[in-house]
Amino acid sequence: MSQKKLYITTPIYYINDVPHIGHAYTTVAADVLSRYYKSQGEDVFFLTGVDEHGSKIAEAAKKAGKKPKEFADSLVPRFQQAWKNLNIDYSEFFRTTNPEHEKIVKDTISKLKDLGFIEKRKYTGLYCIACEKFLLPDELVDGCCPDHGTKPTEHSEENYFFLLSKFSDKLLSAIEAGNYQILPESRKNEVVGKIKAGLDDVSISRQKVEWGIPFPGDETQTIYVWIDALINYWSAQEVFNQDNIWPPDIQLMAKDILWFHAIIWPALLMALSLPLPKKIFAHGFFTFGGQKMSKTRGNVLDPNVLVEKFGADAVRYSLLREFPFGEDGDISEEKIAGRYQNELANNIGNLLNRTISMINKYQVKIDQSRKEYSDETISRYPIAEFSKDIENFQFDKILQKILFIAEFANRIIEENKPWELAKNNKEKLEEVLQSVYEFLKLINERISPFMPVTAKKMKKQLETLEPEPLFPRIEK
């Protein structure tokens, strides 16, 4: 039997519009983790994709004058291109219209029915079309959906219910035992609080939504799009012929869909007697100019536009550098431009450029063959500390620490003035530039999961000693 692969997932994104910066945020974080674990010798299966069913997509398709599948087909390349532009190296791209997936979803529902976890009932509630879910009265803000700012409509129908309430105790003990980690800690507490307050059974079918997978044994209903979507993580094994990935090791998502991932998803797996994911992490929301980013409100930042302007690596860097992963924060083009200029170009880029130029100008012999770092260099950011930071999703701290190394190395240059040493102290000159060269190697290594293209360029320059601007001036 082959060894288990490290299984990392992003949610499958709703394909009712082009990808926005929020999608990019989750996907970049997953890619950083994937690249890091690969660099540590792990075999990684990194899954992303799109969620193609549901009324929201049917509506968007209608507006575009297309059939839902045709509409989804036209948007899939937009997502794939956006990930390509951002240098996302995913293993496979999931589509919920995949026939194998559709069959597995139906089989899963049939099995849950046979096991006695599904019942037919009448349900009346307030429904947000944009969320595709019923909202509870205490979730509303001024009578509106907290995420969309729109009034939900009263909706009543006969649905099939998954008996979620049966799983409260089991969920709590899995979370407490740490078999199933919900991160960050504050989110875990939120989830535990909700479970303790009591779980209601959830409706898992829809009467009026035609664009979906038919409910087994009742063609008047379709399977609720969220249930269909969650099962993608499981059906990926069959769809992509992977027999050594289960359970998922890391599942990333934005906090608005934590409920589905932290409660409904593990309960479904428990009902099926399947092993649970090991870690799920819910990150925060962006505001853009103080306003919440939302498709419905229209202030969506296009990641492709940012990549065109700043390059993929600078966008990846800025997204993860701006605020802690797990908290909310603000982003803007000005902020990215500022980080590009001050941190990337003036600090890291300048350090590389001036060091290589001085090595050439003063004809200093650098020992490039050294595999190990000197104690002084490595103590600035040991691999054990770096690994721990990555495992704790401390992306902003990591980038700050890398930046400190560059600042420190730049200071070594300022203080030792190699241009003076070149006149009277060749030995010291060599020592200083060798030391700075090593710091550059360390920066190169640590930055590589975050900025893969930059790391490659940097490595090449450190080998050939041919300087070239790492972060060219941005045309305004």
Tokens of 165: 């309430």
Residue 446 in contact with residue 399, Cβ under 8 Å?
no
What's the chain's Rg over C-alpha atoms? 25
405 close to 398: Cβ distance less than 8 angstroms: no
Alpha helix positions (H), 418-451: 418-424, 426-447
Min dist. Cβ of residue 130 to Zn ion (A): 4
Q: Active site includes 101? A: no
- Give the shortest CB-253-to-Zn ion separation in angstroms: 16
CB-nearer residue toward Zn ion: 128 or 406: 128
Nearer to Zn ion, 129 or 366 (CB): 129
Catalytic, 292? Answer: yes
Annotated active-site residue 144? The verdict is no
Side chain identity at residue 390, one-letter code: I
Q: 312 and 81 in contact (C-beta within 8 Å)?
A: no
Q: Which of 5, 101, 106, 128 is catalytic?
A: 128
Is 23 among the catalytic positions? yes
In terms of Cβ atoms closer than 10 Å to its own Cβ (0-12, 13-18, 19+), residue 472 is: exposed
Is 128 a catalytic site residue? yes
Known catalytic residue: 145?
A: yes
User: Catalytic pick from 5, 53, 101, 131?
Assistant: 131
Output 133 or 380, the one with its CB closest to Zn ion: 133
Query: Does residue 414 contact residue 347 with C-beta atoms inside 8 Å?
Result: no
Q: What is the DSSP string of 69-125?
A: HHHHHHHHHHHHHHHHHTT---SEEEETT-HHHHHHHHHHHHHHHHTT-EEEEEEEE
Of 170 and 295, nearer to Zn ion (C-beta) is 295
Distance in Å, CB of 147 to Zn ion, minimum: 5
Give me the least distance between CB of 20 and Zn ion, in Å please. 16
Residues at the site binding Zn ion, with contacts judged by CB under 5 A: 128, 130-131, 145, 147-148
- Catalytic site residue 261? no
The active-site residue out of 155, 279, 295, 401 is 295
CB of 63 to Zn ion, least distance (A): 18
The catalytic position among 38, 292, 309, 335 is 292
The CA distances from residue 85 to 17, 39, 223, 337, in Å, are 18, 22, 34, 18
Which residues belong to the active site? 20, 23, 128, 131, 145, 148, 292, 295
